Amino acid sequence: MTFWRNIASIAARRLDLADCTECPAGLPGEDPAFSTAVTALGAKLAKVDGRADGHEFAAFTEVFQPDPASEPNIHRFYELARQTAHGFESYAKRLAKRYSSCPQLLEDVVDGLFHIAKSDGVVTQDELDYLARVSALFGMSPLAFRRLRATHLGVGADDPYAILEVPADADDATVRSAWKSALSSAHPDRARARGLPTEFIEVAEAKAAAINAAFSTVMRERRELGLAAAG
């Protein structure tokens, strides 16, 4: 992933309204406040697991590609910022306020931070907590963060969204449609109608039960998050 190339593509589309309703601070690559906040967030993430080293900065410059002329200054600030993980929330809040009208841009930042977290081969729980907190301060929904996490770290076979084969931030109608479609395909009555042996019917029953359980889990989680549509 090349973050600045992504920013350039947004600029080429004249900041498509689907990505950014307005950008009063100017293009991110031209905004010193953006560079400062992103550098601090990347540096402090590298410190979270207590093992900050050269791998993280290499990953940082790969993802958030700075201008060659400014890289020495960014490196110095990065080294200063990574002395402690404290204070990251103020940078996240500042960035969220400055680019509140650009939710896709903020999601791109979290996406880039995931790449940095993975650079040493393992993402710790402390790093996940950090990323979740940054995404929340950016105004991302828990389901959008779950989708990003699944994109980078994969999902377990028992993940309800994996069972229903929908992204974690799919709307309720999409989830319900996927549930009905999966249940229809796996319904035990189909196996019975085809005259399949008892063993196949039992497998179909187990699959149908898993699909129903997954749908129930998804909707319960959404109610608890206050995200499920009324009715």
The pLDDT of 62-70, averaged and rounded, is 68
Q: What share of the chain in percent tops pLDDT 90?
A: 22
Instruction: Share the mean pLDDT of the chain.
Output: 78
Rounded Cα–Cα distance for residues 212 and 191 (Å) = 18
CA separation for the pair 47, 26 (Å, rounded) = 30
Nearest-10 crossing angle of helices 71-81, 32-48: 40
Confidence at residue 17, expressed as pLDDT on a 0 to 100 scale? 37
User: What pLDDT sits at residue 104?
Assistant: 84
What's the pLDDT tens digit per position in 91-130? 999 999 988 888 888 888 898 889 888 877 788 999 999 9
Q: What is the pLDDT of residue 130?
A: 93
